[in-house]
Structure 1
């Protein structure tokens, strides 16, 4: 079949093409190129960043001349990387390996008359790649009329090979890369907004501030076409390079993605750190090397930093916009951190309240800490969601809150309680639920349920309501076994600590009587992890 190809001229003559001379002259198409060089990737220019150009054509000389024509091409200082395929089938494999192709120069006729058109349809409809800019190049426009191709296929340009000069090819690639850059910026901005919206729905959930931070970073980067490397961190008392403490990494992307626990000098140059230590203003920004650093000092004297690398300004107004966005972001993070601080304070007060009750009953204060850790661990093993398990961890320390209303003479009596004293002692479950039950707070509501049910038994012989089986909430059943497990392993005013083998024997005896059988099995299957938790909180 005839199809426009390259002139049968040596490679050196191709280099002599002027800007206005067609790169591809009309000629008889030779058979499919045989003995193609063993390469799929090549580059042009030595810049760090490369825009990836895919050439899909069954004529090797088309690949060569296209690369030659674009050998000195740069887009805002960045060069090109070429990837190659010689048929529609090869092109599918190519796009699996290189999904980040920016521009596709696609021949229409290859192994079949419509191989190029079929591949263009594959890109858009099957692999759902709507970002790559597709330019069809044909040597016989009569076989694929431009008007029909443009309307029937989702392509971005259509060129006859005989009309392409070096200058026109440069213009074409520049236009396509500009479109691709803008589309990717919009895509990143969309992802950033999705991150922020998702995090805003549940800002108190574990990790939501980090998610929110990543979203803001993506938005800033996309607005200014910056590299995706950014970091938000807080510094407590940044006085000098030698004397700084309390670095808190909130979020990072790119090269800063795994910097938690590192010092600033591990990834910031010394002269940049020196500039930071000499800052007197409470709010502002500075630029050093390829870094943009925005800073904000909070009311409590902490300095929050937002660091972005690879920022490029295409217009002076963008620097002002950058300052505005970053300062607003840091204010937002400061407010979010304040809200999280309030929640953490509430949780700590819950622990301390539980410990106060345990101290009053002359038991180890770490009992509530161990019960909390046991409960979260067992909840996850029982299939509870991470969020619910975390909630139980913070609610379970309140299981014995009702003991605050039990007289010391009963609470700390070393001898066996009388029937009347035991009745008073049992009232602590209902009293704890009563103290917590009228709160609107999720943790306190769950704490009320745990306080009420942690002495109920699987066989229905517990108190205060004689519930049995799954009538008892999973949170109540978990706290029941974790409370007893820890109590048996420690000295109390009325007993000595049991050996662990004896505790295991007791759990087996009470399986299906006092405790949920499934929970007993989970404890015994994970006994080493249980012991490790005990070792962490002696």
Structure 2
């Protein structure tokens, strides 16, 4: 059995977790910190942070100690009742309470006895979710009015921080949707498929991780790489889809898509759009300085541009089109060996060979035949 925390221990837990929560902008991490804080403050075995999915009329938790993410119908269970009424709930024996969602115990194999549920609100006073802790670990094994006060305090602090993070996440998700849609629009104009941008995105992520980029940077690149050809929206169809060989003047117009893409995106201070501007401008630069539009060489080219160059060329060569057959993998491998240190960054080419089986799996998974 465990003991209740002393006043000093409680203050230490509160200040420690609130400092961590305040400094976080990743929703999943904030939810984990909230669950851990609640569990420690009231000496519970487990704690879950429930949120409302208004679109599907469900309650869900992505963070529930000892279990996988759970979804239940809105209004069901103890947590549903607490959220609907706005009132905290404390019970000693969940099995004896008809409001308890026993199906969750059946699915998880966990036996819920004592339960405390506290709804939390945003800055406008609207309920956006609830804390739920189960099975008090002290000798008495039941939650008390003091636990209500403590968990309500945690909910008051954490609910405001959670709202801020959720708004931040909504902005990021909106940017991702816009970027993905715009990327597909750019490819459709040049008679590519949506799967082309999906493949380039996944190729770029795999290469970035193999090169040792952080998860954050690799995910940013995966998100923005579909915008690499967005500048093509300004290229006339007569040139973009010309069946024969381009004249020098027409080729210069095609090459201008890099500058156009950069100009479309460069004004934003948002991280994703700023990164997209870099990729749009630099994905045709070459390691030896013979690329375009700026003739950058070596590490003058941003790593995002160097990675996208390899991902884009690999897809162009390995994907079948109505106007060309896919290159055999041996021929593609030889091209990358030949162009290592010329067109492509040697380190990115080395990463390409390390993850080639993964790239082939991605190519097959997002085949145009499935588009």
2:280 counterpart of 1:451: yes
Among residues 131, 151, 162, which one is paired with 1:306 in the alignment? 131
Alignment of 1:411-422 (within 5 A): 411-422=240-251
Among residues 288, 293, 297, which one is paired with 2:117 in the alignment? 293
Secondary structure of the structure 2 residue equivalent to 1:515: coil
Shift of 1:209: 2.5
Secondary structure of the structure 2 residue equivalent to 1:230: strand
Among residues 233, 252, 258, which one is paired with 2:50 in the alignment? 233
Aligned-CA RMSD value: 3.2
Alignment of 1:157-306 (within 5 A): 181-182=5-6, 185-186=9-10, 190-191=12-13, 193-203=15-25, 208-224=26-42, 226-236=43-53, 248-252=60-64, 256-257=65-66, 259-262=67-70, 274-275=77-78, 281-288=84-91, 289=93, 290-295=114-119, 304-306=129-131
Given that 1:234 and 1:302 are in contact with CA atoms closer than 8 Å, whether structure 2 keeps it comes out as no
CA distance in structure 2 between the partners assigned to 1:315 and 1:279 by the alignment = 17
Q: Which has the larger radius of gyration?
A: 1
Map Cα deviations across residues 444-467 of structure 1 (whole Å, 9 max, x no partner).
122111111111111221111222
CA pair 229-335 structure 1, distance change in 2 beyond 3 A = same
Map Cα deviations across residues 409-460 of structure 1 (whole Å, 9 max, x no partner).
1111122211111011011111111111121112112211111111111122
CA distance in structure 2 between the partners assigned to 1:277 and 1:337 by the alignment = 21
CA pair 309-391 structure 1, distance change in 2 beyond 3 A = same
CA pair 508-315 structure 1, distance change in 2 beyond 3 A = closer
Given that 1:376 and 1:390 are in contact with CA atoms closer than 8 Å, whether structure 2 keeps it comes out as yes
CA distance in structure 2 between the partners assigned to 1:314 and 1:200 by the alignment = 28
**Structure 1 residue aligned with 2:110:** none
CA pair 191-324 structure 1, distance change in 2 beyond 3 A = closer
CA distance in structure 1 between the partners assigned to 2:156 and 2:20 by the alignment = 22
Secondary structure of the structure 2 residue equivalent to 1:456: coil
CA distance in structure 1 between the partners assigned to 2:304 and 2:321 by the alignment = 25
Given that 2:32 and 2:63 are in contact with CA atoms closer than 8 Å, whether structure 1 keeps it comes out as yes
CA distance in structure 1 between the partners assigned to 2:54 and 2:263 by the alignment = 44
CA distance in structure 2 between the partners assigned to 1:193 and 1:496 by the alignment = 62
Shift of 1:528: 0.9
Map Cα deviations across residues 102-132 of structure 1 (whole Å, 9 max, x no partner).
xxxxxxxxxxxxxxxxxxxxxxxxxxxxxxx
Aligned length: 339
User: Which structure carries more helix by proportion?
Assistant: 2
**Structure 1 residue aligned with 2:107:** none
Among residues 191, 201, 204, which one is paired with 1:372 in the alignment? 201
Alignment of 1:310-325 (within 5 A): 310-311=135-136, 316=145, 318-323=147-152, 325=154
CA pair 237-200 structure 1, distance change in 2 beyond 3 A = closer
CA distance in structure 1 between the partners assigned to 2:60 and 2:329 by the alignment = 40
Given that 1:192 and 1:214 are in contact with CA atoms closer than 8 Å, whether structure 2 keeps it comes out as no
Secondary structure of the structure 2 residue equivalent to 1:284: coil
CA pair 345-334 structure 1, distance change in 2 beyond 3 A = same
The TM-score normalised by the length of structure 2 is 0.79
CA distance in structure 2 between the partners assigned to 1:367 and 1:508 by the alignment = 23
What residue ranges of structure 1 are gaps of 5+ in the alignment? 1-48, 52-176, 239-243, 266-271
Secondary structure of the structure 2 residue equivalent to 1:281: helix
Among residues 326, 337, 340, which one is paired with 1:497 in the alignment? 326
Shift of 1:307: 0.9
Q: Hey, which bits of structure 1, 4+ residues long, moved more than 4 A?
A: 244-247, 262-265, 272-280, 296-299, 311-318
Shift of 1:483: 0.7
Given that 2:121 and 2:159 are in contact with CA atoms closer than 8 Å, whether structure 1 keeps it comes out as no
Map Cα deviations across residues 69-121 of structure 1 (whole Å, 9 max, x no partner).
xxxxxxxxxxxxxxxxxxxxxxxxxxxxxxxxxxxxxxxxxxxxxxxxxxxxx
**Structure 1 residue aligned with 2:346:** 517
Given that 2:207 and 2:351 are in contact with CA atoms closer than 8 Å, whether structure 1 keeps it comes out as yes
**Structure 1 residue aligned with 2:102:** none
Shift of 1:355: 0.5
2:220 counterpart of 1:391: yes
Given that 2:175 and 2:272 are in contact with CA atoms closer than 8 Å, whether structure 1 keeps it comes out as no
CA distance in structure 1 between the partners assigned to 2:325 and 2:244 by the alignment = 13
CA distance in structure 2 between the partners assigned to 1:235 and 1:363 by the alignment = 39
2:235 counterpart of 1:406: yes
CA pair 407-282 structure 1, distance change in 2 beyond 3 A = farther
**Structure 1 residue aligned with 2:336:** 507
Shift of 1:245: 6.7
CA pair 200-487 structure 1, distance change in 2 beyond 3 A = farther
Shift of 1:379: 1.0
